[in-house]
C-alpha cells in the first residue's frame, strides 16, 4: 500500500508520468528531433504541418507572413460572424433594425461589428499581398502549380465573402453595391443574357447568373436571404475545404519554398554542362 501511495505521489509531482498524460500524448516530451517529428505526425492539428521546415523559408523578410495572417483573420471573422448571427435576421423588415440594435443597444456590439468589418477588409488585403509575394518569388512554379490554382480559388472566395457581406446590413451602400455587381453579372460570357454567347446558351433575364444570384429580377428579400446563406454557410464551408487542401499541399510539395540558393561560379558552370 505504501509503495502504491508513493507511486501516486510521484505521478502528482510529475504529471507527464501519469496514464492520462500518456493516453493523450503518445510520445515522450523530451525535446529531440525524433520526438518533435513524432509529435507533429501524431497530432490531428499539427499533422498538416511538415515535421521539418527550411529555416530560410519561414523568414518574414521572404514570406511576409501573409498566409498565416490571412488564416488568423479568417478565424477572427468566423468567431465574430458567429456572434453577429445571434442578433441578425435576414429579412427586409429586420435587417437594418438589427444592425442599429447591435450598434447602440448590445454591449460591445459596435466593437464586435467593427472587428468583423475591419478583419474582412484586412483579409482581402492580406490575401492579395500573399498572392503577390508568391508570384514575386516564383513560388507558383513546379511542383506547386496545383497549389497556386487552389490559392486563386481562395482569392475568389475571399472576394465573394466580402461582396456577399455588403448586402447584409440592407443599407444604401449595400443595396447599390449589389445592384451594380449583379448588373455586371448580366454580361458574364455564356452565363449572362447580355454576355457573349449568352443567347446561344438560352440565357434570358429570368434564368441567367444574375437571376440566380438575386433569386429574382431585382434586389429584394430573396437577394438578402441568398446573400446571407452564401455569406454565412456555403462560402465559408467551401473556403475551409480549400484551405485544408492548400495547407496539405504546402506540406506535400516540400514545405514553403525558400529563396533560391546562391551558387558559386564553379557550381553554376558545372550545372550548365
pLDDT exceeds 80 at position 109? yes
pLDDT for res 45: 67
pLDDT for res 255: 72
The three-class DSSP label of residue 72 is: helix
**Percent of residues, the chain, with pLDDT higher than 70:** 80
- Taking CA atoms, 26 is separated from 12, 16, 40, 42, 76, in Å, by 19, 11, 11, 8, 31
Specify whether the CB–CB gap between 158 and 124 falls below 8 A.
Answer: yes
Pull the grid cell for residue 19: 496514464
59 pLDDT tier (thresholds 50, 70, 90): confident
Q: List all residues 6 or more positions away from 208 whose beta carbon is below 8 Å from its beta carbon.
A: 185, 186, 188, 191, 192, 193, 198
In CATH, what class is 60-256?
mainly alpha
Q: 160 burial class (0-12, 13-18, 19+ CB within 10 angstroms)?
A: middle
Decide which of 115 and 33 is more confident.
115
Domain with CATH 1.20.810.10 in the chain: 60-256
The three-class DSSP label of residue 130 is: helix
User: Angle at which helices 235-252 and 145-167 pack, to 10 degrees?
Assistant: 160
Q: List all residues 6 or more positions away from 29 whose beta carbon is below 8 Å from its beta carbon.
A: 16, 35
pTM of the model: 0.80
pLDDT for res 30: 66
Amino acid at each position: 500500500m505504501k509503495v502504491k501511495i508513493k507511486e501516486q505521489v510521484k505521478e502528482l509531482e510529475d504529471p507527464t508520468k501519469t496514464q492520462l498524460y500518456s493516453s493523450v500524448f503518445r510520445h515522450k516530451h523530451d525535446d529531440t528531433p525524433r520526438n518533435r517529428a513524432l509529435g507533429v505526425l501524431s497530432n490531428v492539428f499539427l499533422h498538416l504541418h511538415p515535421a521539418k521546415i527550411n529555416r530560410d523559408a519561414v523568414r518574414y523578410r521572404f514570406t511576409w507572413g501573409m498566409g498565416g495572417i490571412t488564416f488568423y483573420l479568417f478565424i477572427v471573422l468566423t468567431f465574430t460572424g458567429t456572434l453577429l448571427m445571434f442578433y441578425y435576421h435576414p429579412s427586409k423588415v429586420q435587417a437594418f433594425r438589427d444592425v442599429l440594435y447591435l450598434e447602440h443597444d448590445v454591449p460591445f456590439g459596435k466593437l464586435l461589428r467593427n472587428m468583423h468589418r475591419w478583419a474582412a477588409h484586412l483579409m482581402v488585403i492580406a490575401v492579395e499581398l500573399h498572392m503577390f509575394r508568391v508570384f514575386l518569388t516564383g513560388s507558383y512554379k513546379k511542383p506547386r502549380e496545383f497549389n497556386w490554382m487552389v490559392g486563386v480559388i481562395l482569392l475568389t472566395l475571399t472576394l465573394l465573402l466580402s461582396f456577399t457581406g455588403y448586402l447584409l446590413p440592407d443599407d444604401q451602400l449595400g443595396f447599390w453595391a449589389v445592384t451594380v455587381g449583379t448588373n455586371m453579372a448580366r454580361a458574364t460570357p455564356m452565363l449572362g443574357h447580355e454576355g457573349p454567347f449568352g443567347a446561344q446558351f438560352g440565357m434570358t433575364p429570368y434564368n441567367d447568373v444574375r437571376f440566380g444570384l438575386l433569386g429574382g429580377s431585382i434586389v429584394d428579400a430573396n437577394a438578402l436571404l441568398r446573400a446571407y446563406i452564401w455569406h454565412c454557410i456555403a462560402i465559408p464551408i467551401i473556403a475551409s475545404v480549400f484551405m485544408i487542401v492548400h495547407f496539405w499541399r504546402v506540406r506535400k510539395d516540400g514545405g514553403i519554398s525558400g529563396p533560391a540558393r546562391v551558387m558559386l561560379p564553379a557550381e553554376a558552370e558545372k550545372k550548365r554542362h
